[in-house]
Amino acid sequence: MRFFRRFKFLFKFRKSFPFFKEFYLSKEVKVTAKLASLILIIGYIIFPFDVIPDYLLVLGLFDDVMVATLILQQMVKMAPDSLRKKYDIESK
């Protein structure tokens, strides 16, 4: 069930760009939450963890997409309720 929520979140991702922008610019979001999400993103870019090697094309990209989605969902969980309600983003 969790897999399907992440997959659904991925399709809504395009509409979430304003949320992520405001996440970093908002004074309501704790600095520690901003730093934690930034460290996760940069860490994954520098040290990409691959369960499935990328040379397997579609399957190789699948684990990258799932890890990126997991990081973005964590950002949504760390955001204050007012920000989630403003952009109608759920965190489960």
CA-closest candidate to residue 75, choices 46, 15, 35, 44: 35
pLDDT tens digits, one per residue of 27-58: 999 999 999 999 988 888 887 766 777 677 77
72 touches 82 (CB < 8 A): no
Kindly state the percentage of the chain with pLDDT values over 70. 74
Q: 79 to each of 13, 40, 41, 61, how far by Cα in Å?
A: 16, 15, 16, 27
Sole residue written with tokens 């997409």: 65
pLDDT tens digits, one per residue of 50-92: 677 767 777 777 777 778 778 888 888 899 999 888 887 765 5
pLDDT classification of 2: cutoffs 50, 70, 90:
low
What pLDDT score was predicted for residue 68? 79
16 touches 87 (CB < 8 A): yes
